[in-house]
Chains A and B, each alone.
Chain A
Amino acid sequence: MSAKTADKIATTIFYIVIAIVVVLLALLLGYILYKGGRVISWDFITSPSKTLEAGGGIGPQIFNSFMILIISMIFTIPLGLGSGIYLAEYARPGKLTDAIRLCVETLASLPSIVVGLFGLLVFVNLTGWGYTLLGGALSLTVLNLPVMTRVCEDAVRTVKDELKEASLALGATKWQTITKVILPVALPGILTGIILTSGRVFGEAAAIMYTAGMSSPNVNFEVWDFTNPRSPLNIMRPAETLAVHIWKVNSESLLPDAREVADGSSAVLIIVVLLFNILARWLGGRLHGRLTGKV
């Protein structure tokens, strides 16, 4: 076989592989949305779930997923931003920096179930809180801290040296340079990273099933006093998320319509993840355009 023929065959195979990958993704998304689309209704996404009979919804689970995401991000974003800035701007080569990097890598590579078990030990047992929304959010913070650190470090590193040097030459301190010059320029990268990470947090189940719990007892959406155990805003209550709910209805529940509930929940999860992805792209592009004067 001549080299040219081999090249043509190889190229064809590459195109076939890519076609398979793209078609597989389209089939996956199409299947989830099609199956879920037949279940999703306003009633389904707002009404509470049922344990024994058919016809329950996923309202509290959707709410819990967003609550956990927001609370977890309140911790993750500043911490990740801080450590990312430290690694990109302040850290000098040495043992301490090596140790931080090794920790980031180790933490990032841990199976999410192990992070969940750590959460069970610390945020459930040691604190004596039991299963709480806050415990779940903190476990997710542990899970995402390394990701956020990397996102922020990378975003800060991409800022051009000329900008930093110009600011320093004008007499600004390094910290002033970081807050006034570097962060605004790095913002599109950081925001895109935050939104994409949020999508993953939203769908995470293994890390929170044993910290936020697998039940969502009697949340009353008319009680807005956050100290009331029945209030949806109470962060010290058990809070089953959508992703955990999908796992639970498949493995432990007695629901006659478990299939429909799982189909609908999967579709809602995917829709949210898709929205996060689109939002990240749109915002990233828009902010980049505005900051570089192209809009």
Chain B
Amino acid sequence: MNTLKAKKRNEAFGRFITFLCAILVIIVTFSLVIFIASKGLTIFLKDGVSPIEFLTSTKWRTEADPPQVGALTFIIGSLVVSVLGIVISAPVSISSAIFMVDIAPAWGQKLLQPVIELFVGIPSVVYGWIGLSVLVPFIRNNVGGLGFSVLAGGLVLAVMMFPTIASVAADALRAIPEELNEASLALGATRWQTIRRILLPAATPGILTAIILGLARGLGEALAVQMVIGNAMNIPSSLLDPVHTMTSIITMEMGNTAMNTLPNDALWSIALLLLTISFIFILIIRAIGKKEAYK
């Protein structure tokens, strides 16, 4: 049975099957990019909308004649909400990572790992629903405005970004050689001095990666954000203003516009923009990874 030939065939079979699966990942990725791009470029190639106008104009009147397709309102909306999310989430998430790795490695890990997994596990619509039924009325009654606001979106995103930032930052901190920590402590530095002067600088590339991944999560989140930001065509002037984001306009209008019409094609251009942004983030993360401060 176990002749050399049978063995070779068996080996070739395994290699071939797994290779096919891996190639499929490439095929899926490429076809996704090609499909989204071919739809997303339609308004530029067929309808003659200028890409500059698309990125810099705030006038989104796709039903008008001539149509105006400026997505800047949504780009600003997405950025403002996501950056607010990062500003709130990053300090808490990074502190949690430090706690888990350096302050209480014994039980901090045991406590926070399941906590992180549960935060990941809560579906985004549930975050949106809690935001809508608890956070929005709370802001309306205690802070002001309608409640549907940048602030509500930022807070919901901050919670959703927490597991991403915390776990990636924790990985970065864990990768620092123990000798660095010990050398610093042996020189008489306190734990806080060691964290601030040695561990955080050494983990900076990893922490940056964590923040970028958090930002990507925020920019790409659709439903939870859409449910709490009010979805008003508006450049926000305060945290209590309602906004519209790239994902929220797609979510709301994709079902209300007919395929292959300009109002619909314009939504695909926003999808293409989202895809491009997440690809740029990947490239940035790779560049950071190549320049690890400590290896």
Contact B281 A199 (CB under 8 A): no
Asked whether any CB of chain B lies closer than 8 Å to the CB of A113, the reply is yes
Query: Nearest Cβ in chain A — how far from B69, in angstroms?
Result: 18
Query: Nearest Cβ in chain B — how far from A195, in angstroms?
Result: 11
Q: A120 CA to B264 CA in the complex, in Å?
A: 13
Contact B278 A25 (CB under 8 A): no
Q: A100 CA to B18 CA in the complex, in Å?
A: 12
Task: Answer whether A6 and B190 are a contact pair too, CB < 8 Å, given A210-B255, A270-B122, A277-B114.
Answer: yes
Query: Nearest Cβ in chain A — how far from B62, in angstroms?
Result: 17
Asked whether any CB of chain B lies closer than 8 Å to the CB of A294, the reply is no
Query: Nearest Cβ in chain B — how far from A123, in angstroms?
Result: 11
Interface pick from B49-57, B172-180, B214-222, B236-244? B214-222
Asked whether any CB of chain A lies closer than 8 Å to the CB of B195, the reply is yes
Contact B130 A86 (CB under 8 A): no
Contact A118 B14 (CB under 8 A): no
Contact B123 A205 (CB under 8 A): yes
B18: chain A residues at CB < 8 Å are 82-83, 85-86, 89-90
Contact of A103 among B13, B29, B108 (CB under 8 A): B29
Query: Nearest Cβ in chain A — how far from B280, in angstroms?
Result: 10
Asked whether any CB of chain B lies closer than 8 Å to the CB of A292, the reply is no
CB proximity to B under 8 Å, residues A175-219: 175-176, 178-179, 196, 199-200, 202-206, 209-210, 214
Asked whether any CB of chain A lies closer than 8 Å to the CB of B223, the reply is yes
Q: A288 CA to B160 CA in the complex, in Å?
A: 31
Asked whether any CB of chain A lies closer than 8 Å to the CB of B15, the reply is yes
B87: chain A residues at CB < 8 Å are none
Contact A79 B24 (CB under 8 A): yes
Which residue in chain A gives the minimum CB-CB distance to B221? A111
Contact of B123 among A6, A82, A87, A273 (CB under 8 A): A273
Count class of interface residues, chain A:
35 or more
Among B14, B20, B282, find the residue whose CB has the most chain A CB atoms closer than 10 A. Answer: B14
Asked whether any CB of chain A lies closer than 8 Å to the CB of B103, the reply is yes
Contact B271 A273 (CB under 8 A): no
B99: chain A residues at CB < 8 Å are 14-15, 17-18
Asked whether any CB of chain A lies closer than 8 Å to the CB of B118, the reply is yes
Task: Answer whether A203 and B221 are a contact pair too, CB < 8 Å, given A31-B134, A102-B282.
Answer: no
Interface pick from A37-45, A47-55, A232-240, A246-254? A246-254
Contact B14 A179 (CB under 8 A): yes
Task: Answer whether A174 and B11 are a contact pair too, CB < 8 Å, given A82-B21, A105-B282, A111-B274.
Answer: yes
A247: chain B residues at CB < 8 Å are 125, 128, 223, 227
Contact A109 B92 (CB under 8 A): no
Task: Answer whether A174 and B123 are a contact pair too, CB < 8 Å, given A21-B162, A109-B281, A266-B129.
Answer: no
A115-148 interface bits toward B, Cβ cutoff 8 Å, 1 = contact, 0 = none: 1011011100100000000000000001001100
Contact B134 A18 (CB under 8 A): no
A81-109 interface bits toward B, Cβ cutoff 8 Å, 1 = contact, 0 = none: 11101110111000000011011111101
Which residue in chain B gives the minimum CB-CB distance to A175? B14
Chain A interface, >50% SS class: helix
Contact B25 A32 (CB under 8 A): no
Extra contacts besides A6-B190, A79-B24, A106-B279 (16): CB < 8 Å: A7-B191, A17-B92, A18-B112, A22-B115, A85-B18, A91-B22, A105-B282, A110-B275, A113-B220, A118-B35, A122-B31, A175-B13, A175-B15, A203-B124, A250-B129, A274-B118
Could you list which residues of chain B lie within 8 angstroms of chain A, going by C-beta atoms?
2, 7-8, 10-11, 13-15, 17-26, 28-32, 35-36, 39, 91-92, 95-96, 98-99, 103, 108, 111-112, 114-115, 117-126, 128-130, 132-134, 159, 162, 189-193, 195-196, 213, 216, 219-223, 226-227, 247, 250-252, 254-255, 259, 268, 271, 274-275, 278-279, 281-282, 285-286
Task: Please list 23 pairs of residues, one from A and one from B, whose beta carbons are closer than 8 Å in the complex, sorted by A's number.
Answer: A3-B192, A3-B193, A7-B191, A17-B95, A25-B115, A79-B21, A85-B21, A90-B15, A100-B22, A107-B25, A107-B32, A110-B275, A114-B220, A114-B271, A114-B278, A117-B250, A145-B25, A173-B7, A178-B14, A196-B117, A199-B121, A210-B254, A262-B133
Could you list which residues of chain A lie within 8 angstroms of chain B, going by C-beta atoms?
3-4, 6-7, 9-11, 13-15, 17-18, 20-22, 24-25, 28-29, 31-32, 78-83, 85-87, 89-91, 99-100, 102-107, 109-115, 117-118, 120-122, 125, 142, 145-146, 149, 171, 173-176, 178-179, 196, 199-200, 202-206, 209-210, 214, 243-244, 246-247, 250-251, 259, 262-263, 266, 269-270, 273-274, 276-277, 281
